[in-house]
Structure formats: structure tokens, C-alpha cells
Structure 1
Amino acid sequence: MPSRVDAIHSYYLSLFELLIFIAFVIVLKIVMLILMAKLSVILSDDPQAAREQRDERKRRSSFDQTSAQKWLRLGLGLLFTASGLLQIQPRMVSISEQALNQDFHFTLGPTAIESLAASFGRLWVNHSTWMNVLSCGLQLLIGLLLLTTSHRLAVIITASIAAVMGLLDFVIMTGFGGLFSAGGSLLGSTPVRGLVYFAVSVLCLIPVRYWREGKPFRFIRFGIVAFWILGIILQLLPGEGYWQSVGWTRMLQSGTSSTEPRFIQGMTSAVAKFVAPHAAVLNIAVIILMVLFALSVVFVKWSYSRAIQLASIVYLVLTWAVFEHLGFQTVYLFPMDAGTAVILALLMVQNGQQEQRKVKTAGQESKLHSKPAVPSSRSSR
């Protein structure tokens, strides 16, 4: 078996070749689209009419029919691109099966689910170089395609592949995300990471007429509330949970490695020292915050809901930075974790609320303008 240094060297060479291929595909696609658009105008008898027809076809075939769909496409593209860039780190190259079991808590779950996840873990360990190259390449390709194209069919195909990846990560790669293992939490190594990315990717498959009616926002709000309720349940569980310092220490130490920058290791150690004597108090504070975050999504007309939703975004960023080691943790896919995808959903909900207010205001103004003027009593006389 090659040494870790040789494995990392081989990994970077293979990754470099794949990144060159991805860059070539993306650049070639952009150049071909520009050339086809220019040629269709130049070869036409009426360039102005051809340009207008081209713009109309582009508008009709575009995925970005509403602002929410544009937010979704660009946000999902940024998440996948950032996850692919974070996956470049050699944390998952030449990793041992024992380290995988420890970081994913496979030994703490039911036997059937543990065997399912352990079988994929052995596959990754035996082919860690190419598996990490494939993981990194797919995430970068999906992210860059979503960022560089708004064609409806291309976005739907890309989002479908992303949804399949999320479902595979949740069910097969991590054994239902380790949701049935002891010590699960939405703070670190989120059990529903793959499931959240699956749900966000599926949103791209919803027809545009439903987006114009605002129906998907109900499902998005329901998913966000379910996310916070699951977090509350996991924090409330007794045993080696988070009422004692052992649960917090295990979560903070999970996924740490020598590939992490020194400042992340120092930050994790400082948080662990602070948490140790205040485990129960911190757990109560986290539960209260999650309850408030869930209520702010349920009662959107509450005067403090927008401020609390913004606070939940800050909370998700901080927990990702501290408990997920800024994406340097042990993961097969999605180092950006579920919290950043929930942030995208929260931003979409807030954007949807603003759009609904604009539509409502425009409707009221049109009704006022459409009302006939009532003649005064003097003029009638």
C-alpha cells in the first residue's frame, strides 16, 4: 500500500488533470454559446429581428423566470462550488477505516445501518484517491454549470444529478446520515446534510407556474421548521448527549486532522475549554434559540420574525465555523454542510415575502386606479 505522501501526490496530479478538463468544458461551452448567438445574427437577413428573436427564445428557455428561481440557481451553484473547493484538501485521502468509523460515529448506530455505511467506508478507503477526485470534480462541475448557465433544461438535468448525490450521501454513504447513532446533533456533522441538499436541489424541478403563485415557499418554510424541530429533539436526548461535556467534546474533536489550519485547531481547543464547565447551560441556550428560530419561520407576520431569522443566519455561520471546522471536517460530500443550505432557504423565504408584499401593493394600487370617479353633489346638480 503506498504511503500517505505518495497517495497525496498522486491525488493532486489526478485532481489537476480533472480540473483542467472541467475548465476546458466550461470555457468551451461559453465560447460556443457566444459564437452561435453572434452567427445567428450575422447570417440573418434582418439582424435586428434576429436579435429580438434570439432574446425572446433566451427569455422563454431561461430557468430564471422569477427572482426566487434565480436566487435558488445561483445559491445552489455557490454552495456546490464552495464544497468542491473545500473537498480539494487531502483530508479524505489515505484515510483509515478506523478514522472514518470514529468521525462518522458508525459504531454507535444500529447494526444494519452501520454495515451499510461501513461497506461504503471500506470502498472509499481502498480507493480514496480517485473517490475524493470524483467527489471534488462532480461538486465543482455541478456548481460551475449552475453558475454559468440559466437554460431551463440544463439546470433541471444538473439539479437532478445534485439531488441524486444528496440522496446517496444520506442513505448509502453515511447510513442515513448517522441520524440513528448516539450523539447526533445539528451543530456539527449534521445528520441530515445529504437530505437537505437533496431537498434544495429538488426545488429546481418545480414548474415555474408554482413559483409565480408562491406555493414552494410553504414547503421551504415547512422544511426549515422541521430542521429546527429535529435539532431541538437531538439536543434534548439524554445519555452521552449534550447535557454533559462529553457530548460537546466528542463533537468538537470529531473530524480534526493535521490538514486543518492552525487557527482552526486553536479555535476548536478554546471552544472546548469554554464548553466543558458549562455544558448544561449551553445546551439549554441552544434549545431556546432553536425554538425561537422555528417560531420566526412559522409566524412570519410577527414583528420580530425578520430580525430572528437574520440572527439564525448568523448562528448557522458560527456553528459551521466552530463545529464543522470551516469545512475541514471528515465528509464524503458537501463540506459546506446543511446549515449553509438552510441559510439559502431562509434568504429565499425573505425574498419571497418581499415579492408577495410588492404584488399585494401593486394589486391594491391597480384597484384604486380602476375605481371610477364618484361625481360630487355640486357637479351632479
Structure 2
Amino acid sequence: MDMSSAPPVHTVSAFYKLLLIEWAVLLGVSAIVYLIARFWKSEGEGFLREFGIEPRSRQSSGSPYYLAPSEAKARRLAVWSLGLLWILDGLLQAQPELGTNFFGAVIQPVMSGQPRWVNDLFLSVTQLLFTSRPLWFDSLTVWIQILLGVGILAGPERFIGRLALRGSITWSLVVWAFGEGFGQIFSGGSWLMGSPGSVLVYAALAVVLLAKADAWEHGQVKHGMQWFVTVWFLASAILQALPSAGYWSGNGLADMEVGMAQMPQPHFLSAPLYALAHALSHGPMGWNAVFVAVPLVLAVGWFTAPESRAVQVATGVVLLLVWWLGQDFGVVGGAGTDPNTALPLFLLTLAHNFLPRDGSSPWTRLWRSAPRAAAH
């Protein structure tokens, strides 16, 4: 994408003035809501009795979201990961390049190569909104994401935290369809560059955090994470192997790597990308075979032995290398809307690794359930 021309100064100024005004309004509304909540907590029951209404007695039982320390550490990591990721996305959305040219910098490149129905039904809607009222809609996106992140940091034990988590799932699906073009899975997306989309990992983390304590303690959350990572890596291998993606020949991957390297960034960040692009331009078939094999091996590892230290370390190393060399940390260049897919997926697998071990895997659980199914 062309980053050579800076947006007009007066447009950037108008964008940040709008953000400042909206911040003041949000701060005022938040203060009012907080004062009302404090008043209701201390005086609400007496207020209801003044009108002859007997308030319902509060439940004395513990919260269904209370976790034992063995699982609480993993959930706390997931809460902070998801909350800070959404806040970071909101702050990135406030960059001048996005506030004044979101369609040209983000949506237009995503539209390239998409099926007609994706552009007509989804991305064209985003084009209409962000070209008709670019400052307003971009600032709205900023605050939605920041508020979701702040709400999630309250934790699933609180109502506001659960509300933010449910809202984040909805918003993730909106962004995936209308902002990421379904993670570019219909236009030759590569897992190295972020397909099938970082917000799907955000949604998975939100689903995990909405699980009640029983699901954490009985291993259902951990098993769900294992299935998610297994399917994710398997889908990544399939996307990379599709002949229609065009990675078995030509310079498809090399061109994308050069495009990232040309983003405004320090030389020490761009130099490794140029070196990798040069390597990818020689023998694309061999390189693509490697990029198909790596997620396939990881999928097998997560299916058969997700608690193996070798699988966990290999996953972390691969994801961090991909985040660096394949995704340029997601935020470099002034037009990144999020840190891309590898980082949130790494954080999800890290939360999984903090959970107590039970010695099982998707493979062993399927094997054990097969005789019972046959008996019935």
C-alpha cells in the first residue's frame, strides 16, 4: 500500500479533536453511571421499600465463576491478554493514517482478489461507511475497542466483564466479515500473513473466559483449547497448500514479504524481511512445502500430545518467528489495526500451558469414547 503521502494536517487535527470530544462525553457518562451505581448499591433497597417494593434477597451462594488458584492463574493471563489486545487495537485505530484513510489503507487491499459476493455483501458496506463519514466511523471503532478491552479487564466474575466478553464476540465477527474479508480465506490467504484472522482468536479467548468454574475445573476449557489450536493449524496447512492460493510457484509469498519490508520502519526490522523475501523468490515450491508441513506437524502434535513440552516450545517458537518474519509484528508502518494473528494465538496457547495437566489429548479422548459409543 502507498504510505508515501501523509494525510492533510487539518484532517488529522479534526480527527483528534473529535476523539477528544468523544473522550470527554464518555468520561462524563461513565462518571454519571458510576455515581448511580454507588447510590443504588448503598441506598437501593431502602429506595424500593419507600415505594412498597420488597427487594429480592441476595444470593448467598458463591459465584459460579470463582476459580481455584490452579486454574485462576491461566484465566487471569487470558483476561489480561484479551483486554490489552482490544485496548491496543483501539489505540492503533486512532493512528492518523487510519483515521483519515481507513478504506485506502486497510479495506482496499483486503478487497483485492476477493469473490464478488464478499465485496458486494460485506466489504462494500465498510467502504460506504468509511468513505462517507471516515472520521466519525473510525473514532467510533476506536472507542468500541477500547471500551471492550477495559470491560474485559474487569474479569468474568463481574457483570460488566461478562457483558464486554459477549460484546467482543459479536464485534469480532463483525470485524472478521466487514474488516478482514473473512480473514482472506477466499482470496488466497496465508497463515504466515495472518489468515484466517486474528479476531477469531479473540472470539475464542472470549468464549473461554465466559466458561463457568465447573468447565475449567473439569478440563472442558482446556480440552476446548486443544481442539481449537489443532483445527487452527490444520486449517492453516490446508490454506497454504491450496493450488488456487498460488504459493507453489511464482513470487506470491516473496511479494507479500517485500510489501511488508517496504513499510516505514527501522532498517534492523526491514533487513531480515528483505533477506527472507529474496530466499522465498528462489524455489517457491520447496519453501511452500515447508510452510505446509510446519502447521501440519503442529496440528498433529496438538492432537496427540498437547501437554508435551516439545510441542509447547515448538508452538511458541514458530508463532513468535511468524509474528516477526511473517507478520512484521502486525503494527509496523502506521496502518496496522492489530498485532496480527500469531501473538494472540501464542497467548492462548500460553494460557493453556498454565492449566493443570491431566495427561489426555484429543486423540486419547476420542479413542476412549469410541468403545462406549460402539457398546451403545
Q: TM-score range by the shorter chain?
A: 0.7 to 0.9
Aligned to 1:360: none
Equivalent residue letter for 1:186: W
Aligned to 2:354: 351
Count of matched residue pairs:
335
Decide which of 284, 307, 320 is 2:323's aligned counterpart: 320
Does the CA-based 8 Å contact 1:217-1:352 persist in structure 2? yes
Does the CA-based 8 Å contact 2:323-2:342 persist in structure 1? yes
Taking the aligned partners of 1:127 and 1:259, their CA distance within structure 2 comes to 27
| 2:311 pairs with 1:308 | yes
Decide which of 240, 243, 246 is 1:241's aligned counterpart: 246
| 2:225 pairs with 1:185 | no
Question: What is the alpha-carbon root mean square deviation over aligned residues?
Answer: 3.8
Decide which of 7, 13, 33 is 1:9's aligned counterpart: 13
Decide which of 163, 169, 189 is 1:157's aligned counterpart: 163
TM-superposition CA deviations, 1:212-244 (whole Å, max 9, x none): 211122221111111101110111122552223
| 2:169 pairs with 1:166 | no
TM-superposition CA deviations, 1:321-351 (whole Å, max 9, x none): 3333322379999612232222122122222
Using the TM superposition, name which of 325-334 and 129-138 deviates more.
325-334
Greater share of helix residues, 1 or 2? 1
Taking the aligned partners of 1:61 and 1:28, their CA distance within structure 2 comes to 30
Report how far residue 35 of structure 1 moved. Answer: 12
Taking the aligned partners of 2:291 and 2:271, their CA distance within structure 1 comes to 23
User: Where does the alignment leave 5 or more consecutive residues of structure 1 unmatched?
Assistant: 41-55, 358-381
Taking every aligned residue pair, what percent have the same amino acid on both sides?
Answer: 22
State the SS of the aligned residue for 1:84: helix
Aligned to 1:126: 132
Does the CA-based 8 Å contact 1:121-1:173 persist in structure 2? no
Alignment of structure 1 residues 327-366 onto 2, 5 Å = 327-328=330-331, 335-354=338-357, 356=358
Report how far residue 167 of structure 1 moved. Answer: 0.8
Report how far residue 100 of structure 1 moved. Answer: 4.3
Taking the aligned partners of 1:152 and 1:8, their CA distance within structure 2 comes to 38
Taking the aligned partners of 1:150 and 1:266, their CA distance within structure 2 comes to 43
Equivalent residue letter for 1:236: A
Report how far residue 287 of structure 1 moved. Answer: 2.0
Larger of the two Rg values belongs to structure: 1
Q: 1:253 to 1:129 in 2, by over 3 A?
A: farther
TM-score by length of structure 1 reads 0.73
Taking the aligned partners of 1:323 and 1:23, their CA distance within structure 2 comes to 39
State the SS of the aligned residue for 2:355: helix
Report how far residue 136 of structure 1 moved. Answer: 2.4
Taking the aligned partners of 1:259 and 1:93, their CA distance within structure 2 comes to 18
| 2:92 pairs with 1:86 | yes
Alignment of structure 1 residues 1-381 onto 2, 5 Å = 4-18=8-22, 60=63, 66-67=71-72, 68-95=74-101, 97=103, 100=106, 102-104=108-110, 106-116=111-121, 117-149=123-155, 151-181=157-187, 183-239=188-244, 241-253=246-258, 260=265, 263-300=268-305, 305-328=308-331, 335-354=338-357, 356=358
Taking the aligned partners of 2:77 and 2:124, their CA distance within structure 1 comes to 37
Taking the aligned partners of 2:272 and 2:348, their CA distance within structure 1 comes to 28
Taking the aligned partners of 1:58 and 1:30, their CA distance within structure 2 comes to 26
Equivalent residue letter for 1:308: V
Does the CA-based 8 Å contact 1:73-1:146 persist in structure 2? yes
Q: 1:250 to 1:123 in 2, by over 3 A?
A: farther
TM-score by length of structure 2 reads 0.74
Taking the aligned partners of 2:299 and 2:289, their CA distance within structure 1 comes to 16
Taking the aligned partners of 2:294 and 2:288, their CA distance within structure 1 comes to 10
Does the CA-based 8 Å contact 2:180-2:197 persist in structure 1? no
